Chain A
C-alpha cells in the first residue's frame, strides 16, 4: 500500500547523521511535512505527527546540532518556505533529496556523578552576557521560585515566559530550555532528586500548550529540553560545570549562538545551577504551593523524562 503524498520525482539518495531524538519520527510510517523556514545552513520541517520533535532541523556543515537535527552529508537542496516534504519509513524527503541516517548521536548524554562542591565553584563563572530578558520580573520570579523551592512561583513564572520575546526561538523559551536541561542533568549528576522533580513539573507546564503559545520550532525545542535533550553547545557548558571539560571556552561558544539565544540559554543554565545548589544544600526544602491552584498533571511528560535521563 503506497499512498503518494505528491507526484514522485527522481530523488537523489544521500546519507547523514541524526540526533537519536528524531529516530521515532524518522522510523514511524511516512507523514507529510512542510518547509517552515530556510537558512543558508539548514531548513526547518514541520511534520504532521503527534510525536515530538514534530519540527526537524535539516542541517549541513557547521550549523548548530540542535537536538531535533538531521545532519546532511551533502549540500542543502534548494527549497523554499511552504515546500512539501515527507518524513518517515526511515528517511526524510526534502527537495530532490532522500536522506537516511548512517549515524546517531545522543542529544542527552549523561554527565555522570558530580560533587556539589564543584558545582559551587562553577556558579560564579557562569556570567550569561546580555540575555534578551535581563531584568524582566518573570525571570526574577522564576529564579527566586526555583531557588527557594516555591513551586507555584516557579510554575507561574514559567507559564508567563513561554513564547515571551521576539524571533523564532523567543528569549523566554530559551531561558526555560536552559533551565530544564540543567535541572535534569545536573540534578541527576549531583543526586538532587528535588531538582529532577522540579524539572518534571516545569516540563509539564511548558510543554502542555507550547504548540499554541510559541513558534513551532521553539515548541519542539521545549519538548526536547523537557527530556534533557540539547545541542552540543549546551551539553558542553554542563560538562564544563561538572568539571569534565574547560568551562570558559564552552561558555563563550554557547554565547555566540544566535542573536541572544546563547545568552538566554546561559541565563537558564545559571538559574538551574543555583537551584540544584540550593537543593543539595537543603536536602528537603519545604515545597508548599502558596495557594491552591490547578496545575497540569505531570504524569505523562515526567515518565518520558525519567526514561531519558540516566544517572
Chain B
C-alpha cells in the first residue's frame, strides 16, 4: 500500500475540469483521450470485461500468438497435405458462394477450373461454378491462407510452415508475382502458362531444396526483415532477399539444371516472401485459437465482398461486414472506379502484428500507400491502443526497438473506435484485370461489434 506515501502521478479519464484542477496543483498527470465506445456496445463491454476469465484468457491467447516459432519445413502439393478432393476449391476470406463473389474472386475460380482442366473454356467454368457443383470453402478452415482471391486448387504447391513451439502447421500457396496473376482474378493464357511452370518446375525444385537445406526459421527472418525496412504485407523486398540468400545454394544442389530459372523467378518478385509471412502468421494465430473467454482476434480476412473476423473465444464463427474499397494510389490510368472491394487473407499479417501494424518499420512504402513517414509512425502507435502486447521478436528500430503491436482485442476496438490499420493491394473489379493499385483499407466496424455482442451473449449463457 504505497498510495499514501507520496503525491501520486494521476491518470485522468473524463472531465477536463478535474484535469485542470490537477494541473493547477502542479500534479503530474496522464490524460486519457477518452471518447464513448462504439454505439451499442456499452452493455456488452461491461459484461465481457466483467468476465473474471478475461485477463488470463487474453494473456494466454496473446502469449501463444507471440511465442509461436514458425519454420518453413516444406513445399508440398495441396492435394497431398490438405483435405481437398476434386471439384473443391479453397478461397480467401469468410465463406462465400459464386452468386455473391466479386469479379476477381470469380476470375480466380474460373482460372482454377481451367488449371485443373475440369473444363475447357470459360463459359462452362462459369456454368459449373454457378451450378454449385464445385464446393467452395474458406482457406482458414483448412489451416491455410491465400493472398487476394486466395484460390487453392488440388494441384498447387503449398509452403508448409510448422510452429516449433506449439506444433501446429499452416499452408500458403506460392506467390506468382505481380501483374496479371490468378490471385487478382486474371486467367488468360500467360497466367495459366506461369502456373503450369510453377507446377512443373518451381514447386518440385523448392521442395527438394528445403528437404536438403532443412527448416528455415521464419520468425528470425521476419524479425530481421522488419529491421531492413519491410512491414511484411506490402513490402517484402528485404525478406525475399533473405530467403533467396538462404535458398540459393540448396536450389543449385537440388536441381542445377533449373536453378537459374527458379532463382531468377524468385528474384524477380519482391513479394515472394509474402506467402511465407502469411503462413507464419496463420500458424501463430492458430496457436491462439479457442481460448475460452478470450476477446483476441485470431483472423481477419476478406473475400472481395465481406470482411470477416474470428475471435479466439468464439471458435470458428465468422463476424462480417461489407468489405471496403481501399484508399490509396493507383497504377497507370486506373482509378477508384476500377477498384474491387477489399480481398484476401493477407490481413493475417496485421492479425499477427505485421503489415499495417508494423508500418513504422517501413518508411519506404508510406508514399506508395499515400502518406508521409509521420503517418506510418502514427499508424503503428495507434495500434498499441487496440492490442494486448508488444511482440517480443518483431521490433521496430525507429521506435527504439519497441515490439510491434500484436493481439487485437475487440473490446479495445469497441472502446476506442480505432480500427485495425490494414495495408493492402487493390484488385481490379473486372475479372482478369489484375492489380490496379495499393493502399490502406478500413475494416467494417460491424464485424467487430458483432463479435463483441456474441462474446457478451456467450458470457450471459455461461453465468
* Chains A and B touch each other in the complex, with CB atoms below 8 Å apart: yes
Q: What residues of chain A have their CB less than 8 Å away from a CB belonging to chain B? A: 15-17, 71-73, 102-103, 105, 109, 232, 236, 239, 244-245
B25 interface neighbour in A102, A236, A244, Cβ under 8 Å = A102
B165 at the interface (CB under 8 A from A): no
- B4-34 at interface with A (beta carbon < 8 Å): 5-7, 23-27
Q: List 7 A-B contacts (CB under 8 A).
A: A15-B26, A16-B24, A16-B26, A17-B27, A103-B26, A232-B6, A245-B2
A50, chain B: closest CB distance, angstroms = 28
Contact assessment for B5 and A245 in the assembled complex, using a CB-CB cutoff below 8 Å: yes
Contact assessment for B26 and A71 in the assembled complex, using a CB-CB cutoff below 8 Å: yes
Contact assessment for A72 and B26 in the assembled complex, using a CB-CB cutoff below 8 Å: yes
Residues of chain A within 8 A (CB-CB) of B26 are 15-17, 71-73, 102-103
Residues of chain A within 8 A (CB-CB) of B5 are 109, 239, 244-245
B9, chain A: closest CB distance, angstroms = 12
Closest residue of chain B to A100 (Cβ to Cβ) is B24
Q: What residues of chain B have their CB less than 8 Å away from a CB belonging to chain A? A: 2, 5-7, 23-27
B27 interface neighbour in A103, A109, A245, Cβ under 8 Å = A103
Residues of chain B within 8 A (CB-CB) of A105 are 7
A109, chain B: closest CB distance, angstroms = 8
What separation, in Å, do the CA atoms of A15 and B24 have in the docked complex? Answer: 5
The A/B interface has a contact count, at CB < 8 Å, of: 31
Residues of chain A within 8 A (CB-CB) of B27 are 17, 103
Closest residue of chain B to A246 (Cβ to Cβ) is B2
User: Known pairs A232-B6, A239-B5, A245-B2. 20 more at Cβ < 8 A?
Assistant: A15-B24, A15-B25, A16-B24, A16-B26, A17-B7, A17-B25, A17-B27, A71-B26, A72-B26, A73-B23, A73-B24, A73-B25, A73-B26, A102-B24, A102-B25, A103-B7, A103-B26, A103-B27, A109-B5, A244-B5
A101, chain B: closest CB distance, angstroms = 9
Residues of chain B within 8 A (CB-CB) of A17 are 7, 25-27
What separation, in Å, do the CA atoms of A119 and B326 have in the docked complex? Answer: 67
B7, chain A: closest CB distance, angstroms = 6
What separation, in Å, do the CA atoms of A179 and B5 have in the docked complex? Answer: 22
Closest residue of chain A to B23 (Cβ to Cβ) is A73
What separation, in Å, do the CA atoms of A16 and B26 have in the docked complex? Answer: 5
Residues of chain A within 8 A (CB-CB) of B7 are 17, 103, 105
What separation, in Å, do the CA atoms of A210 and B123 have in the docked complex? Answer: 103
A167, chain B: closest CB distance, angstroms = 27
Closest residue of chain B to A59 (Cβ to Cβ) is B26
What separation, in Å, do the CA atoms of A103 and B27 have in the docked complex? Answer: 9
Residues of chain A within 8 A (CB-CB) of B24 are 15-16, 73, 102
Closest residue of chain A to B7 (Cβ to Cβ) is A105
| Top 5 A-B residue pairs of the complex, sorted by shortest distance between their CB atoms | A103-B25, A73-B26, A16-B26, A15-B24, A17-B26
Closest residue of chain A to B24 (Cβ to Cβ) is A15
Closest residue of chain B to A60 (Cβ to Cβ) is B26
What separation, in Å, do the CA atoms of A279 and B2 have in the docked complex? Answer: 30
Contact assessment for A16 and B25 in the assembled complex, using a CB-CB cutoff below 8 Å: yes
- Which of B7, B26, B27 neighbours the largest number of chain A CB atoms within 10 Å of its CB? B26
Residues of chain B within 8 A (CB-CB) of A244 are 5
A263, chain B: closest CB distance, angstroms = 23
Residues of chain B within 8 A (CB-CB) of A236 are 6
Closest residue of chain A to B6 (Cβ to Cβ) is A232
What separation, in Å, do the CA atoms of A236 and B5 have in the docked complex? Answer: 9
Closest residue of chain B to A99 (Cβ to Cβ) is B26
What separation, in Å, do the CA atoms of A71 and B27 have in the docked complex? Answer: 10
Residues of chain B within 8 A (CB-CB) of A103 are 7, 25-27
Closest residue of chain B to A105 (Cβ to Cβ) is B7
What separation, in Å, do the CA atoms of A102 and B2 have in the docked complex? Answer: 23
Closest residue of chain A to B2 (Cβ to Cβ) is A245
Closest residue of chain A to B1 (Cβ to Cβ) is A244
What separation, in Å, do the CA atoms of A17 and B7 have in the docked complex? Answer: 11
What separation, in Å, do the CA atoms of A236 and B2 have in the docked complex? Answer: 12
A18, chain B: closest CB distance, angstroms = 9
What separation, in Å, do the CA atoms of A239 and B26 have in the docked complex? Answer: 24
B28, chain A: closest CB distance, angstroms = 9
What separation, in Å, do the CA atoms of A105 and B5 have in the docked complex? Answer: 11
A217, chain B: closest CB distance, angstroms = 21
What separation, in Å, do the CA atoms of A102 and B24 have in the docked complex? Answer: 7
What separation, in Å, do the CA atoms of A55 and B5 have in the docked complex? Answer: 26
Closest residue of chain A to B4 (Cβ to Cβ) is A109
Residues of chain A within 8 A (CB-CB) of B23 are 73
What separation, in Å, do the CA atoms of A298 and B156 have in the docked complex? Answer: 96
A64, chain B: closest CB distance, angstroms = 13
B327, chain A: closest CB distance, angstroms = 41
Residues of chain B within 8 A (CB-CB) of A71 are 26
What separation, in Å, do the CA atoms of A236 and B6 have in the docked complex? Answer: 9
What separation, in Å, do the CA atoms of A103 and B26 have in the docked complex? Answer: 8
Residues of chain B within 8 A (CB-CB) of A245 are 2, 5
What separation, in Å, do the CA atoms of A17 and B6 have in the docked complex? Answer: 13
What separation, in Å, do the CA atoms of A16 and B25 have in the docked complex? Answer: 5
B17, chain A: closest CB distance, angstroms = 14
What separation, in Å, do the CA atoms of A173 and B225 have in the docked complex? Answer: 57
B101, chain A: closest CB distance, angstroms = 60
What separation, in Å, do the CA atoms of A236 and B24 have in the docked complex? Answer: 25
What separation, in Å, do the CA atoms of A16 and B24 have in the docked complex? Answer: 6
A249, chain B: closest CB distance, angstroms = 12
